[in-house]
Structure formats: structure tokens, C-alpha cells
């Protein structure tokens, strides 16, 4: 059965998302600081990623990354769960017409955390299995670079089809992980590439902004401050930009869900207005 929903309107989603953030900026800043900025900053300062070895091949870089994640998983996993809870709590604040308090929104996010994490584990395992199969085929054919092509050409659209899982779990209150994934898949049907382009453009814009700011600030800071202070300030800047990106993506997810689920246009961002 063909869907009769109109195509996804990225301009409308962006307008609603930015309006929601402006209307709730004080609370959003507070939650972003606690759930996104501080965990990212702690990880950057306490467990910085190793610098790539000049001239290293792909196998060496993968081995370096594997070593790093094996040594830091015990802190990375709790921080990832904390950020997931923050994502769900912020979605609640931006969309719940009952006007929950910050504490109520955080509790709602925690209540939805386990089914959401289960859904992400399912998707991650499925993608990992597909990647391993494809990487094996590519290696057998003597074309290892095709594994990266797979990640972009197939992995990205699949991730996009399940991107609305968080709004489905916390806004629609679907607590069965498989059912939530199926619902997210249905909502994104027919709009995969529009959604992918929309979110890719947001990511690209933030990558450019981060590259420019960190590059320029690194030069200036290196001239004015000792190396230890430069490391701390650069980590703070990167963490702040990363937290801003996450907040924008969450607001865009909420607006996208409202549009594809057929909710009223004013259902996003009205919590504290």
C-alpha cells in the first residue's frame, strides 16, 4: 500500500526545530551542559584519542582505534547511556504538551532508556553483521576500500530509516524495541534520501564550523597560552560545538517526527511558551 503522506519538507522541519530551541533556550542550555558537554569534555581530557601515526595504513589505523576503544569502553559506555538519557529527556521537553518540569522530563527519558538502548543495539548488531560480510567479500576480491563504500552507500540510508526510533520511543511511548524500530521504518518510508540530505547538510555545516573555529583558535591560543592550557581550551571548544550539534539534531528529529507522524505544526517547541 502506497503512503499518501506529503514528502518531507526540510525547510519546515528546520524552522520548527530552531523555533523550539529559541523558545526553550535556557532549559536546553542546562540539559546540553549536563548530558552532552560535560561527558564529552571529560572523555576528551581524561581519555584523549591517540593521534594517527603518519603514513600508517588502514589496518594499522583500525588496530589503533580498536586498542583505544578496548581500553576506554568502561567509561565510554556509561557516558553514552547518559547522553542517550539526555536525548530522550530533551525530546520530552521539546514535545510534551503537558509542560513537564525538567525533573519530570529527565525521569521520562530514563524510563524510555532501556527500550531505546535495546533498539540501538539491535540496529548496531545488524549493521555490524552486514559490514563484516561485505568486508569479507571485498577483502576476498582484493578491494578492501569497498567496505568504506558499503558503510556510506548502504549503512547511512539504513541508519536514516531508523533515525526516528528515539521520538517513537519517548513521544509515542512505544516500549517494544522491535515494534519501535518497525514504526520508525514506516515513518521514514518514501523520504529516506530527503532525510539523509537534510541531516547530512546539518552535519556538514557543523564540521565546517568546528574546523574553522578549532583551527583559528588553536593558532591564537598557541601564541598566548602554555600547551596544557591550549589542550583544555580546545577540548572545551570542541565539546561545546559537539553539544550544540547534538541539541540541533535532537530538535530536528522532534520536528521531523511531528511532520511525518502527522502531528500539528505547533506541537514542537510549545512546552515552555
Q: Domain for residue 36, yes or no?
A: yes
Q: Domain for residue 5, yes or no?
A: no
- Count of other CB atoms within 10 angstroms of residue 221: 19
- Using the Cα atoms of residue 77, residue 79, residue 80 and residue 85 in order, give the sign of their dihedral: positive
Give the integer Cα–Cα distance in Å for 160 and 249: 13
Q: How many domains does the chain have?
A: 1
Radius of gyration of the chain (CA): 20
Give the integer Cα–Cα distance in Å for 7 and 24: 28
Q: Domain for residue 205, yes or no?
A: yes
Give the integer Cα–Cα distance in Å for 158 and 127: 8
Nearest to 269 by CA among 256, 251, 253, 257: 251
Q: Domain for residue 211, yes or no?
A: yes
Give the integer Cα–Cα distance in Å for 225 and 179: 53
Give the integer Cα–Cα distance in Å for 172 and 5: 19
Q: Domain for residue 3, yes or no?
A: no
Q: Domain for residue 147, yes or no?
A: yes
Provide the residue-wise pLDDT of the chain in tens; the chain has 273 residues. 444 567 899 999 999 999 999 999 999 999 999 999 999 999 999 988 887 766 666 667 777 778 888 889 899 999 999 999 999 999 999 998 888 888 999 999 999 999 999 999 999 999 888 888 877 777 777 776 677 777 778 888 999 999 999 999 999 999 999 999 999 999 999 999 999 999 999 999 999 999 999 889 888 888 888 988 988 999 999 999 999 999 999 999 999 999 999 865 455 655 434
Q: Domain for residue 54, yes or no?
A: no
Q: Domain for residue 270, yes or no?
A: no
Which residues span the domain enclosing 260? 10-48+59-265
Amino acid at each position: 500500500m502506497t503512503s499518501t503522506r506529503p514528502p518531507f519538507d526540510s525547510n519546515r522541519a528546520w524552522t520548527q526545530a530552531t523555533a523550539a530551541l529559541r523558545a526553550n533556550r535556557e532549559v536546553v542550555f542546562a540539559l546540553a551542559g549536563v548530558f552532552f558537554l560535560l561527558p564529552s569534555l571529560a572523555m576528551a581530557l581524561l581519555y584523549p584519542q591517540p593521534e594517527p601515526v603518519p603514513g600508517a595504513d588502514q589496518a594499522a589505523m583500525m588496530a589503533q582505534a580498536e586498542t583505544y576503544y578496548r581500553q576506554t569502553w568502561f567509561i565510554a559506555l556509561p557516558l553514552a547511556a547518559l547522553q542517550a538519557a539526555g536525548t530522550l529527556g530533551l525530546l520530552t521537553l521539546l514535545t510534551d504538551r503537558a509542560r513537564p518540569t525538567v525533573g519530570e522530563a529527565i525521569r521520562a527519558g530514563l524510563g524510555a532508556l532501556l527500550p531505546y538502548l535495546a533498539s540501538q543495539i539491535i540496529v548496531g548488531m545488524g549493521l555490524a553483521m552486514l559490514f563484516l560480510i561485505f568486508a569479507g567479500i571485498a577483502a576476498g576480491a582484493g578491494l578492501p576500500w569497498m567496505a568504506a563504500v558499503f558503510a556510506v552507500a548502504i549503512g547511512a540510508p539504513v541508519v536514516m530509516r531508523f533515525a526516528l526510533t528515539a521520538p517513537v520511543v519517548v513521544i509515542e511511548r512505544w516500549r517494544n524495541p522491535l515494534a519501535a524500530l518497525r514504526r520508525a521504518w514506516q515513518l521514514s518510508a518514501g523520504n529516506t534520501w530527503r532525510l539523509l540530505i537534510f541531516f547530512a547538510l546539518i552535519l556538514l555545516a557543523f564540521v565546517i564550523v568546528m574546523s574553522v573555529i578549532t583551527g583559528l583558535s588553536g593558532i591564537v591560543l598557541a601564541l598566548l597560552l602554555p600547551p596544557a592550557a591550549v589542550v583544555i581550551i580546545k577540548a572545551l571548544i570542541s565539546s561545546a560545538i559537539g553539544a550544540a550539534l547534538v541539541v540541533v539534531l535532537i530538535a530536528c528529529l522532534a520536528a521531523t517526527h511531528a511532520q511525518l507522524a502527522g502531528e500539528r505544526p505547533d506541537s514542537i517547541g510549545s512546552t515552555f511558551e
